[in-house]
Structure 1
Amino acid sequence: MSVSSRVLLLLLLCVEAAVLAVLETFFLPVRLDGTLLPRLGDIPFPITIAVAVITTPMLVQWAATLSGRVAAAAAPLIVWFFTIFTLGFLEPGGNGQFLLGDWRTLLLIAGGALPGAVAVGAVMARNAAHRPGLYETAGIQ
């Protein structure tokens, strides 16, 4: 695969991360209130948290297959994270209540960022294992 096609695919993964962040944010307040979903007592239905938990590490792993660099593998996670925070600060009213006003928002951020960070750590470990002598070991020398 050529370098230009890898860069294009990495950019598409970053666009996909941004689109997923927007959709996860917009559908986060969905409730079982009879409007969009069946009426079951106005219970919150934050299915987008599960979507973030699954898709963010997948995007990181796909980006890692395109390049051996950790920065390239972390690019979808960084785009997802900054898209979430940009939407949080550009909300109507602009006072940042979206980010700290609800438990679902905090779970969305944690559910996307933590598994994504673990996936980036796995890429770093795989790079260290494939390049012996390049990284210093910790401990007594």
Structure 2
Amino acid sequence: MTVRNWLTLAVLVVDAAVLAVVELLFLPLRFDGYVLPNALGGVPVPLSALVAALTTPWLVSVAGRLSPKLLVAAAPLLAWIVVVAIFGMFGPGGDMVLISDWRSLLLFACGALPSAIVLGRVLATTLTAPQ
């Protein structure tokens, strides 16, 4: 890999970590009158899960284009999982940022599962490609 590819991979990993923090902070978002209007009586809005489902697989696919190696292609996914786990359990000031309901599971499922599928596709195409 070239220096440019290493720098691109570093940006992808940092981007995955920042997105994980932002997704965790917006996880408790709901229509309750504080950030969103009180139009629906406090209905939760799983916007973080949607952002995770769109961005994390894209980061994995871009990393997979840099190098066919497993650790390079999986680096954004691994960074996202580690940040969600550590920052979610031991957040700022010792607070637990992961809330105890279905939105936390949805965030993890929407971030990790599509990314794992994309990672499998990246690895399968590199293994079956003619040498």
Does TM, normalized by the shorter one, top 0.5?
A: yes
Structure 1 residues 26 and 95, CA gap change in structure 2 (3 angstroms)? closer
CA RMSD between the two structures? 2.0
Specify the alignment match of 2:4 in structure 1. 5
Structure 1 CA distance for aligned equivalents of residues 27 and 97 of structure 2 = 14
Is the 8 Å Cα contact of residues 25 and 97 (structure 2) preserved in structure 1?
no
Residue 57 to residue 90, structure 1, CA distance change in 2 (3 Å): same
Greater strand percent: which structure? 1
Equivalent AA in structure 1 for residue 110 of structure 2: G
Q: Who wins on radius of gyration, i.e. which is larger? A: 1
Cα deviations by residue, 1:29-80 (Å, 9 ceiling, x for unpaired): 0111111111121110111101101111100001011112121010000000
Identity %: 44
- Corresponding residue for 1:42? 42
Aligned residue pairs total: 130
Q: Which SS does the other structure have where 1:86 is aligned? A: helix
Change (3 A) 1:95 1:127: same
Q: Which residue of 1 aligns with 2:60?
A: 60
- For normalisation by structure 2, the TM-score amounts to 0.91
8 Å CA contact 2:63–2:73 kept in 1: the answer is yes
- 5+ long unaligned stretches in structure 1: 133-141
2:64–2:73 Cα contact (<8 Å) kept: yes
Structure-1-length-normalised TM-score: 0.85
Counterpart CA distance in 2 for 1:107 and 1:60 is 19
Structure 1 runs of 4+ aligned residues shifted over 2 Å read 91-99
